[in-house]
Structure 1
Amino acid sequence: MSQLEILQWFTQLQHPFLDQFARVFTFLGNEEFYFIILPLIYWCISKPIGFRLFYIFIFSIYINSFLKIYFAVTRPIGAEGVNSLFISSAADAGSHYPHDSFPSGHAQGSATLWGYLAYIFRTSVFIALACSLIFFISISRLYTGLHWPTDIIAGVALGIGIIIIAIYVKNFLSKINVGLQLILAVIVPIILVFLFPEEEGFKFAGLLLGAGVGYILESKFVKMEISASFIRKGIAFMIGLVGMFAIQEGFKFVFPDMFIFDFIRYALIGLWGLFLAPYIFVLFKIYDKEEKGYFPTFTNRM
């Protein structure tokens, strides 16, 4: 069975009732969802896990965007016998639509996010949940006629591969001092910009720079301790989100429409999320300071 025939079979299953499930799984793979779940983990659950997940995930999406532009595979939208739904979720995903099909960002992003969390928590229930989410988010891209089957397979494989690499990288990072970590947090994103001088490359590299520097600064000067109170967590989360989206949208009107300013804007988002927002939480007594600091490495699980 060809890829086109597989897609034709999946899209023939479309029904208004099933479409609603596909809409939900599409959202769970969208940028908007990740901009909620990633800071939620860092601000409200665990700083070390949140930082590592943020960094690994953004690097994964950087790789995904690079490969999309490099391979420039045209999406199956408009292919014979294929009815595509929620096209805006594909059109808003990158700057090279519709020639950005391979690999699937939804499949790779979900495999990276939920795969890494499954590795961290390692309970049978969470692993089953993670696998189910990865499966249904990936399948939804076939059901909606927005990706070829090979896009899905490659996306999931890349997500898992990046997690495996990240696990080994943490062993290297655990052996170097904080000063060298700070240097790497600045140099690596700059190198990534030169390797991928497109809009997405500037944005994701900026996020990595802001997040890396922000986490190190937070660990040294802020040392936020996440409260056990759900009310305090909720307040912190709302303040953090408002600040993050204010930077993301507000600076569009301040900065010229140039890639370098996208880099700066997204670096500020990363810096806000991992350093400035925690500083605000501690300053206004929403969260307390930790009695003992910690070193910003990839080695601590919690």
Structure 2
Amino acid sequence: MEWAMNTAALISNDWFFLLLIALVFWSVDKHLSIKLLIIFALSTYTNHFLHHTIPTPSSDAVSSVLPPKDVQIATAFWGFLIPEISDKRYTLLACLLIAALSFTEMQYGGYSVQDVIVAILLGSFFVYLIYRSDWISSVPQPIIFSFTMVIPSALLLLFPEGAYYAGLLLGGGIGYNMELIKNRMQFATVMWKRGITCIIGISGLFVIAYLNIFFAPTTLFSFVHAILIGLWLTLLLPILSVKTGLYRQSHVTKHLMH
């Protein structure tokens, strides 16, 4: 049914996830948000890479394994939050959402059960990968900062079509690192200040998003555009919130991964 596909497209849209990640970063938990950004960008990059490198089978050929993006991202994003939230009601809701998206893709998206299983496994792998990254907290910051530039750049060279997601990783990684070292935004205790900060942040995101109407859709622009989005989310808006007095600056310097 058309409404099912439209609903699946809405809750699986890149901007839907980016807005959620941004709101978490600006008003709830910076450390959780950057992990969500990494898991979203890596998982989506991988999905696009697979869809570009695995040939689409003809109607009379054996089906290739092409994981549906909606299912893979939902598994990675909502699945990552299951142990973070640690609530049975949320766990049930997340599982129902993933199951509903899986059914929709098989019923109306032309994907097979095998495709959906692979998508769920890939999403689960990225959840495991992020949760096993706690050792990063013991790595010196200069090394971590180097990795935040080297890894996204390598991903860009490997798969230029994934420039947008490599750019998100680069901008988000650099911005988050600089935020924790230099700016150190501390959330306000009053909710109206958090609300105003989020409104300003979302407005800025929309302005940045619409820059693409003024430039040709090249790989370089896509990469730079995504870097700017990542920087606004993790550094520029936090700096603005501190400068305007909406938030305060913490005097405690924290490590990149908490």
State the TM-score, normalizing by the size of structure 2: 0.90
- Rounded to whole Å, the distance in 1 between the matches of 2:58 and 2:8 is 19
Partner of 2:155: 192
Partner of 1:51: 34
Structure 1 spans left out of the alignment, 5+ residues: 1-13, 80-99
Partner of 1:214: 175
CA contact (8 A) 1:111 1:159 kept: yes
- Rounded to whole Å, the distance in 2 between the matches of 1:31 and 1:281 is 25
Matches within 5 A, 1:31-46: 31-46=14-29
1:249 to 178, 196, 210: 210
**CA shift for structure 1 position 155:** 1.1
Q: Quick check: 1:180 aligned with 2:148?
A: no
Partner of 1:113: 77
**CA shift for structure 1 position 232:** 2.1
Deviation readout 1:75-115 (Å, 9 max, x if unpaired): 99xx9xxxxxxxxxxxxxxxxxxxx9811110011001101
**CA shift for structure 1 position 21:** 5.2
Q: Structure 1 72/281 Cα, relative in aligned 2: closer, same or farther at 3 Å?
A: farther
- Rounded to whole Å, the distance in 1 between the matches of 2:217 and 2:22 is 26
Helix, strand or coil at the partner of 1:261: helix
RMSD of equivalent CA atoms: 2.2
CA contact (8 A) 1:29 1:109 kept: yes
**CA shift for structure 1 position 218:** 0.5
CA contact (8 A) 1:210 1:268 kept: yes
Matches within 5 A, 1:101-250: 102-171=66-135, 173-198=136-161, 201-250=162-211
- Rounded to whole Å, the distance in 2 between the matches of 1:285 and 1:188 is 35
Helix, strand or coil at the partner of 1:174: helix
Query: Number of aligned pairs?
Result: 255
- Rounded to whole Å, the distance in 1 between the matches of 2:170 and 2:76 is 20
State the TM-score, normalizing by the size of structure 1: 0.78
Q: Quick check: 1:274 aligned with 2:237?
A: no
Q: Structure 1 103/216 Cα, relative in aligned 2: closer, same or farther at 3 Å?
A: same
Deviation readout 1:100-149 (Å, 9 max, x if unpaired): 98111100110011011112222222212221221112222223334333
**CA shift for structure 1 position 156:** 1.1
Deviation readout 1:233-262 (Å, 9 max, x if unpaired): 222112112212212221541x44421121
Higher helix share: 2
Q: Structure 1 20/231 Cα, relative in aligned 2: closer, same or farther at 3 Å?
A: farther
Q: Structure 1 74/267 Cα, relative in aligned 2: closer, same or farther at 3 Å?
A: farther
- Rounded to whole Å, the distance in 2 between the matches of 1:135 and 1:75 is 27
CA contact (8 A) 1:75 1:147 kept: no
- Rounded to whole Å, the distance in 2 between the matches of 1:64 and 1:51 is 20
1:261 to 210, 221, 237: 221
- Rounded to whole Å, the distance in 1 between the matches of 2:36 and 2:87 is 18
CA contact (8 A) 2:71 2:116 kept: yes
Helix, strand or coil at the partner of 1:36: helix
- Rounded to whole Å, the distance in 1 between the matches of 2:40 and 2:189 is 26
The share of aligned pairs that are identical, in percent, is: 27
**CA shift for structure 1 position 161:** 0.8
CA contact (8 A) 2:78 2:94 kept: yes
CA contact (8 A) 2:65 2:118 kept: no
Q: Structure 1 43/74 Cα, relative in aligned 2: closer, same or farther at 3 Å?
A: farther
